[in-house]
Structure 1
Amino acid sequence: MPHPARLTVTLREVAAAAGVSVATASRVLGGSARTVSAANARKVLEAASELRYTADVAARAMRRKSDSIALVADDLTTPSIAQVVAAMERQARTVDAFVTVSAAGGDPRRQLETVRTVCAFRPRALVITSSWAATTAYGARLAEELHSYERRGGRVVIYGDMDAPFDAIGVDDRGSARLMGAHLAATGHRRIAILAGTRERTFAAARTTGFLEGLLGGGVDVRDIRVIDCPVSRAGGYAAASRLLDESPGEFDALMAVNDMIAVGALSACRAAGVDVPGRLSVTGFDDIPLAADVTPRLTTVSLPFAEIGERSIRLALTVAGRPDRPGIRQTVTGRLVVRQSSKVI
């Protein structure tokens, strides 16, 4: 007759009931690749079933690497990171792994604490979506934490800008943004306002630089370009565009935003002010999030391959690590120009 369920049944008790060693029971119930005879495997499984043994997954994770790939992201609320995470999950499932996700909120202290906590559970690999510098105090401590994790057999992949020797996938924000600047210049735009986000966001700074290079290379006078800082959000784009339209009506023929959410906010501000887009003013974005094709007018933007980035991150994370002193692998993706109805030829 089966024993009643107990709060805790140990692996040692299962081994004793099966008449095998603890090591043999562990191999059977822990999914070890080491061979156990069919007879012993049957005895262990029958004993575990009778005793209603449940493996302590948390304790097991502390003893060996798990099948998880940990993602530590700055912000999980953006449409772009949602596409990256979905692609990572799909790719991980092809090798029977899964993705766990944590948010650091762009706070270096929280990022360091999150990485320490995640690494304690010994994930198979760690992907960080962030832009950070190893030369800062927190950056140096984070780099050492990641090096320590790699020395213990883990894999680290960075998605973003960084200056430490880890494998990384980056976006050529500057070169991709140059495409948009050149396009607006080629289509006759000569008075441009750039909604540039905030200076500490490295991707925003790189895109602003690329916009300027494309515009100036296309013959736009630097005196006719205005760079406006704003929060990297729809509300930030709305507020910045509203102020611009109120203070300088008719001064510009194009608004360029460093991401699509800022551009969507700018479109709303134009609609509220009665400014026709693109009849009176062209508006462009960057990223090509799904919303870009759904707003009215549909948004001219630079499309980034977020699904490809997610898949590449997982493939890179699952490659066999080389020497600890090897230089990091660098992969770069470039955006492509997508022209829609929010811009026109002048």
Structure 2
Amino acid sequence: MEAGRRGKQKAAPTLHDVARQAGVSVATASRALNGSSTRTVRPEYISRVVAAAERLGYQPHLSAQAIALGSTPTAALVVSDIDDPYFSSIASGVIVAAQAHALIPTVAVADRSPARELQIVRTLRGQRPRVIIVAGSRIDGAGTDTTLDDELQAYQAVGGRVVMVSQESLRFPTVAIDNAGGGRQLASALVSRGYRRFAVLSAARKIRTSRDRCDGFLAGLREAGMPEPLVVETRFTRDGGYEATRRLLDGGPPTVDAIVTVNDVMAIGAMTAIRDAGFTPGRDVGVAGFDDISWCADLDPALTTVAIPLHQVGVMAMELALGDDPQQPVIRVPTSVILRDSTPSR
């Protein structure tokens, strides 16, 4: 009896059902629902087909839309690490902007691997999203930039839109954050608060975002007449900040006035390490980060940082991709210093 009921379940409506109820050909129904890059459909036919589809509960297939339009109504974002609030904040802006344009947002994670990033882009080309946004630092010596450029150029040649959120290194519209300028501003602000001896926790030099931020900070110190700081290379993560700070404090009390990190999650790790060593962040040694992720104001002490409008960066990337001038080369995003309790005046 149960099997009999299952056998009588109503089949899902097809495009033929929609066309029959709307009184049009199957080809016309397909063009009305999926769009067409070569043929137009009279408005009254579109209205009849859409109304029939809604009555029947018909859902068009993304693959059919890709064949008709050369793309699906999707927007793909490729990020280095979704666990990092820097990227999740950018993703939130991309998602909001994509939905405002009736696009379905998708997110792929490259795990900070240039090879994985390239593999994702190759896969996305086959899925035909309308937009591909690649967010993440370019990495020197990775050996993938030329091939990535070729893949994205081929995707763009058939109507896809590409935007980078990174440095101005590939031949695509780019949302470029003023990392070096932010580092320079941070140095000036901390010197004005009385700080003189610094340790800078930086990722590997090949990671351009980290390098630009570190170099900007060092330039700001030189402009202020300060001595060269101690630069410690570590991982671009919370654990990297923790481990480097523990090494700095192994010999006893801090020998620097402030520890400056090239992102906020490293600064959070540094603050934990300071406490674990028996000292107090802010009082015994200042701490400053970079990005102004959402947690910064809620830390104790609240974290001094360089603010980037990360959500807006995501929105800008999507608007740039869908704009009337897809060849607009670069949108430069300024940064600003936010001084908080982790760096009180000395």
Q: Which band: TM-score by shorter chain?
A: 0.7 to 0.9
Query: How has the CA–CA distance of structure 1 residues 26 and 287 changed in structure 2, closer, same or farther, with 3 Å as cutoff?
Result: same
Aligned to 2:4: none
CA distance in 1, matches of 2:205, 2:109: 22
Aligned to 2:207: 201
CA distance in 1, matches of 2:224, 2:270: 24
CA distance in 1, matches of 2:115, 2:63: 26
Aligned to 1:286: 290
CA distance in 2, matches of 1:43, 1:276: 68
CA distance in 2, matches of 1:43, 1:221: 73
CA distance in 2, matches of 1:14, 1:127: 35
Q: CA offset at residue 330 of structure 1? A: 0.9
Deviates more, 1:292-301 or 1:108-117: 108-117
> Is contact 1:11-1:25 (8 Å) kept?
yes
Q: What does the per-residue CA deviation read over 1:231-270, in whole Å, with 9 as the maximum and x for residues that have no partner?
A: 1122111111111011363421111111111111111111
Instruction: Please state if 1:56 is matched with 2:35.
Output: no
> Is contact 1:186-1:218 (8 Å) kept?
no
CA distance in 2, matches of 1:26, 1:192: 65
Instruction: Please state if 1:127 is matched with 2:133.
Output: yes
Q: CA offset at residue 95 of structure 1? A: 2.3
Match of 2:195 among 186, 189, 192: 189
> Is contact 1:133-1:163 (8 Å) kept?
no
Match of 2:42 among 28, 35, 38: 35
Q: CA offset at residue 54 of structure 1? A: 5.0
> Is contact 1:134-1:143 (8 Å) kept?
no
Q: How many residues align?
A: 336
Q: CA offset at residue 43 of structure 1? A: 8.0
Deviates more, 1:151-160 or 1:68-77: 68-77
> Is contact 1:11-1:22 (8 Å) kept?
yes
Instruction: Please state if 1:221 is matched with 2:237.
Output: no
Aligned to 2:303: 299
Instruction: Please state if 1:166 is matched with 2:172.
Output: yes
Instruction: Please state if 1:345 is matched with 2:336.
Output: no
Q: CA offset at residue 85 of structure 1? A: 1.2
CA RMSD of aligned residues (A): 2.8
> Is contact 2:138-2:207 (8 Å) kept?
no
CA distance in 2, matches of 1:291, 1:53: 44
Instruction: Please state if 1:74 is matched with 2:63.
Output: no
> Is contact 1:72-1:103 (8 Å) kept?
yes
Identity of aligned residues (%): 34
> Is contact 1:159-1:168 (8 Å) kept?
yes
> Is contact 1:130-1:159 (8 Å) kept?
yes
SS at match of 2:128: coil
Aligned to 1:334: 334
SS at match of 1:210: helix
Letter in 2 for 1:342: S
Instruction: Please state if 1:147 is matched with 2:153.
Output: yes
Q: CA offset at residue 126 of structure 1? A: 1.1
CA distance in 2, matches of 1:109, 1:250: 40
TM-score normalised to structure 1 length = 0.87
